[in-house]
C-alpha cells in the first residue's frame, strides 16, 4: 500500500470517528453545553482562567502530544508499518479519544479536579492516596523520558556524509568533526520561552483577539528559528565544571529542569499556557509541511530503495519482545495515553468555558495526535532506509556501537522524505524535523511537572488537612504575591451563577493549632515552589539513572496502565450517574491486560540486572503493587453497589 493510501484511509477513519462516535458519546454521557464550568465559577487568575477554546486546544494539544506520537512509532515500526498504522487508527478512535473526552468531561463536572480526587470521591481516601502515588511515579517517568529525549534532541550530532554536507558548510555548528544538528532548536526554545510571558499578557491581560496573538506567535517562531541559524546554542559533548567532568546532554537536562521548575510555580498564563500557544504554531505548521511532503511524495510514488517492510514481526520480536504487548506499549500517545487525563484534569478543565469545548478539545485533540502519528509512520515509510534506520534506532542490530537515538531516526527520515518528494536539501529537512520534535517535547515537560506539583499538593492536603496551616485559604496570598486582581465572582458579566461544588474534603470545624517548628514545616510543605522543586528532583532522579530506551518502555507501560485505570474510573463514575458504560469498560479491560503483561515482562528484564536498573525495578514493583490494590478497591466498590441496588445493576 502506498503512503498516499495510508494517509487517506487513516484520515477517513479518524474523521468518521470524530463525526459519529464523539456525538454518540456526548449523548450517552449527557453533555450539557449550557452548564457552567469551573473556569467560570472559580476564576482566580492563576489556575482557573476562562480561556477561548482555540487557545485551550492549542495548549492541550501541545501538552498531550509531546514525543509520544513521534518517538513511539519510530521505535515500534521495526515490527512493520502495517500493525503500527492499524493500532494508531483503531486505538485512537475507540480507546484514546474516548479516554481523553471522558477524562476532560469528568474533571469538568467534578469541579476542575484531578482523576485522583475523583477516585477519592468514588472509592475512598486510601484509593486516593494510592492513585496519587501512582500518578506521581508515572509523571516522574514521563518527565524523565521526555527530559532525556529533549536533551538528546538538543545535542544530536551526525557525520557530514549523512547530511550530504561538506566540511566547509556554515549552516550547522561543528563539534569533534561532527555536525551539531540540535543547536538551532536550542536557540528557538530559548527565544520562545523568553517571549512567552508577553504573549500571555496580550491575550489574558489586554484581551487581544486570538487571531492577532496567533500572528504574533508565528512571528516569534520564525524569528527564533532564524536567530538559531545564525547563533546556535550547543555545549560540547564533554566538558568540566569546577573540575568535575560533565556531559553536554546533562547540562541541558539541568537547564531544562530550572525552566520547568519556574514554569510549574508561576501562574499558568506566564509560561505554561502562553509558551504552548506560541509553540503550537510550529507544531501546526510543521505538521502541515510534513503532510504536504507526504502527499506530494505519495502522488509521485517516491521512496527509498531499501524501505521498511509492512510486516517485520520476527526482527521486531528479537529486538523488543513479542508484538503483544510490546507494540501496543511502545506506541503510547499516538493511540492512547493516560497522561492526557492528567492534562485534562490538571490544566485543561480549569480553562474551558463549556462542556462542548470538553468534547472539541478532549476527543479531537487526540484524533489530531493520532493523525500526527500516522504522518510519522508515513514519513518513515517514505524516507527511512532499513540500514540507516537501524543504525540510528537499533544500532546493535545493524552492527554499530553507540546509544539508540530515536530522535535522530525521525529527523533523518523527515530529511530524506523532504529531499525525495520536494527536492529540499537533506540537512534542511532534518533540521525541520528536529525543531518540530523539540517543540513537542518541551511543551509536555513544563505541563507534566506542573501536574506533578498539583498531585504533591493534594497529598499534603490529604495528610495534613486537619492542621490549621492547610485549613487556611492560600489563593488570596498567591494572587497578592503575583500582583493579581481578585477573581470575578460567579454571576458577573452575564454569566449565571451555579451552585458551588466542594473541591476537596471539607476543612475541619476546629483545625489543630500549630506553632514553632511544626508550623514552619507545614508552611514549607504548602508552598508551591517547594512542591515544584520536589517534582523536578524526582524527575532528575529517574532521568539520570535510566537509559533512554529503558525509560521509554516503563514510561509507556505506566502511561497505558493509567489510561486503563482512568477508563475504569470513568465506568464507575458513569455507573454512579446511571449512564451506559460499555464504551469505557471494553477498552479498559484490553489496556489493563496489555499493560500488566508488559509490567511483568519488564520486571523480569530489570531483575536480571538489579544493580544497573535499581530505580526502574523499584518503580515497576511500586506500580504493580498500587495497581493490585486499586483493582481490589474498585472491585469492592462495584460489589457494594451490586448488593445495594441489584435491580439497577
- Over the stretch 446-501, which tens digit does the pLDDT of each residue have? 777 887 887 788 788 878 878 887 765 544 444 444 444 444 333 223 333 333 34
Q: Which of 172-176, 292-296, 448-452, 462-466 has the lowest mean pLDDT?
A: 172-176
Give the pLDDT band of residue 323 (cuts 50, 70, 90): very high
**Residues 38/104/283/303 CA torsion (nearest 10 deg):** -170
Residues 429-437, mean pLDDT to the nearest whole number: 81
Higher pLDDT pick, 93 / 576 = 93
Highest mean pLDDT among 321-335, 438-452, 609-623, 632-646: 321-335
Per DSSP, what are the bridge partners of residue 512? 467
Segments making up each domain of the chain, as ranges:
3-471+525-644
| 545-to-445, 463, 532 alpha-carbon distances in Å | 18, 30, 21
In this predicted structure, what is the pLDDT of residue 342?
81
In this predicted structure, what is the pLDDT of residue 475?
43
pTM: 0.81
Alpha carbon distance 178, 181 (integer Å): 9
Q: What is the pLDDT of residues 521-563, one digit of tens each?
A: 888 888 878 888 888 888 888 888 766 677 888 888 998 999 9
What are residue 245's phi and psi, to 5 degrees? -65, 135
Q: What is the pLDDT of residues 190-222, one digit of tens each?
A: 888 888 888 888 876 777 887 888 888 889 888
Q: What is the pLDDT of residues 79-124, one digit of tens each?
A: 999 999 999 999 999 999 999 999 999 999 988 887 878 888 888 7
Give the pLDDT band of residue 643 (cuts 50, 70, 90): low
Share of the chain above pLDDT 90, in %: 27
Contact 384, 409 (CB under 8 A): yes
CA angle 451, 58, 63 (to 5 degrees): 30
Give the pLDDT band of residue 508 (cuts 50, 70, 90): low
Alpha carbon distance 498, 485 (integer Å): 22
Residue 10 has pLDDT above 90, yes or no: yes
* pLDDT, mean over the chain: 82
Higher pLDDT pick, 497 / 12 = 12
Residues 6+ apart with CB under 8 A from 573: 106, 118, 122
Residues 559-582, mean pLDDT to the nearest whole number: 91
In this predicted structure, what is the pLDDT of residue 552?
80
Give the pLDDT band of residue 581 (cuts 50, 70, 90): very high
Give the pLDDT band of residue 46 (cuts 50, 70, 90): low
Residue 265 has pLDDT above 70, yes or no: yes
Amino acid at each position: 500500500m502506498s503512503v498516499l493510501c495510508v494517509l487517506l484511509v487513516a484520515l477517513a477513519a479518524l474523521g468518521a470517528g470524530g463525526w459519529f462516535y464523539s456525538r454518540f458519546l456526548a449523548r450517552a454521557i449527557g453533555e450539557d453545553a449550557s452548564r457552567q464550568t469551573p473556569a467560570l465559577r472559580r476564576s482566580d487568575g492563576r489556575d482557573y482562567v476562562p480561556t477561548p477554546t482555540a487557545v485551550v486546544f492549542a495548549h492541550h494539544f501541545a501538552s498531550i502530544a509531546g514525543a509520544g506520537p513521534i518517538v513511539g512509532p519510530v521505535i515500534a515500526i521495526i515490527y512493520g508499518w502495517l500493525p503500527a498504522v492499524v493500532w494508531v487508527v483503531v486505538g485512537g478512535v475507540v480507546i484514546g479519544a474516548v479516554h481523553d473526552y471522558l477524562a476532560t468531561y469528568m474533571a469538568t463536572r467534578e469541579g476542575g479536579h484531578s482523576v485522583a480526587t475523583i477516585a477519592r470521591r468514588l472509592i475512598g481516601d486510601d484509593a486516593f492516596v494510592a492513585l496519587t502515588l501512582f500518578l506521581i511515579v508515572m509523571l516522574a517517568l514521563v518527565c524523565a523520558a521526555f527530559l532525556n529525549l529533549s536533551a538528546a534532541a538538543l545535542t544530536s550530532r551526525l557525520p557530514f556524509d549523512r547530511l550530504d554536507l561538506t566540511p566547509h558548510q556554515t549552516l550547522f555548528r561543528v563539534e569533534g568533526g561532527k555536525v551539531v544538528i540540535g543547536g538551532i532548536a536550542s536557540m528557538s526554545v530559548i527565544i520562545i520561552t523568553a517571549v512567552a510571558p508577553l504573549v500571555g499578557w496580550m491575550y489574558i491581560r489586554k484581551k487581544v483577539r486570538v487571531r492577532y496573538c496567533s500572528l504574533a506567535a508565528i512571528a516569534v517562531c520564525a524569528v527564533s528559528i532564524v536567530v538559531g541559524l545564525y547563533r546556535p546554542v550547543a555545549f560540547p559533548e564533554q566538558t568540566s565544571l569546577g573540575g568535575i567532568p560533565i556531559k553536554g546532554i546533562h547540562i541541558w537536562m539541568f537547564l531544562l529542569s530550572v525552566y520547568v521548575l519556574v514554569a510549574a510555580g508561576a501562574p499558568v498564563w506566564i509560561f505554561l499556557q502562553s509558551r504552548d500557544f506560541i509553540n503550537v504554531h510550529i507544531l501546526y505548521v510543521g505538521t502541515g509541511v510534513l503532510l504536504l511532503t507526504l502527499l506530494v511524495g505519495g502522488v509521485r510514488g517516491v521512496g527509498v530503495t531499501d524501505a521498511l517492510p509492512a510486516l517485520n514481526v520476527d526482527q521486531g520480536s528479537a529486538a523488543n519482545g513479542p508484538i503483544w504487548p510490546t507494540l501496543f506499549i511502545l506506541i503510547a500517545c499516538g493511540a492512547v495515553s493516560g497522561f492526557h487525563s492528567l492534562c485534562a484534569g490538571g490544566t485543561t478543565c480549569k480553562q474551558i468555558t463549556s462542556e462542548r469545548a470538553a468534547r472539541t478539545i478532549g476527543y479531537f485533540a487526540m484524533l489530531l495526535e493520532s493523525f500526527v502519528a500516522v504522518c510519522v509512520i508515513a514519513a518513515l515509510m517514505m524516507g527511512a532506509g532499513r540500514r540507516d534506520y537501524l543504525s540510528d534506532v537499533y544500532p546493535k542490530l545493524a552492527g554499530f556501537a553507540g546509544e539508540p537515538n530515536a530522535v535522530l531516526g525521525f529527523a533523518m527520515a523527515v530529511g530524506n522524505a523532504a529531499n525525495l518528494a520536494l527536492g529540499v536539501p537533506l540537512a534542511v529537512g532534518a533540521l525541520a524535523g528536529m525543531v518540530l520534535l523539540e517543540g513537542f517535547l518541551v511543551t509536555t515537560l513544563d505541563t507534566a511537572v506542573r501536574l506533578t506539583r498539583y498531585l504533591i499538593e493534594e497529598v499534603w492536603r490529604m495528610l495534613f488537612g486537619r492542621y490549621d496551616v492547610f485549613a487556611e485559604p492560600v489563593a488570596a496570598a498567591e494572587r497578592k504575591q503575583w500582583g493579581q486582581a481578585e477573581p470575578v465572582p460567579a454571576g458577573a458579566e452575564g454569566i449565571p451563577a451555579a451552585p458551588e461544588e466542594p473541591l476537596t474534603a471539607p476543612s475541619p470545624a476546629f483545625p489543630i493549632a500549630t506553632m514553632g517548628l511544626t508550623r514552619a514545616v507545614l508552611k514549607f510543605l504548602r508552598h508551591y515552589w517547594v512542591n515544584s522543586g520536589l517534582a523536578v528532583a524526582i524527575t532528575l532522579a529517574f532521568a539520570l539513572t535510566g537509559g533512554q530506551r529503558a525509560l521509554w518502555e516503563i514510561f509507556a507501560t505506566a502511561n497505558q496502565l493509567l489510561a486503563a485505570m482512568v477508563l475504569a474510573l470513568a465506568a464507575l463514575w458513569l455507573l454512579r450517574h446511571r449512564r451506559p458504560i460499555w464504551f469505557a469498560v471494553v477498552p479498559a479491560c484490553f489496556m489493563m491486560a496489555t499493560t500488566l503483561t508488559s509490567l511483568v515482562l519488564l520486571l523480569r528484564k530489570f531483575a536480571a540486572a538489579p544493580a544497573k536498573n535499581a530505580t526502574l525495578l523499584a518503580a515497576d514493583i511500586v506500580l504493580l503493587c498500587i495497581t493490585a490494590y486499586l483493582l481490589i478497591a474498585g472491585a469492592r466498590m462495584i460489589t457494594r453497589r451490586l448488593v445495594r441496588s441489584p435491580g439497577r445493576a
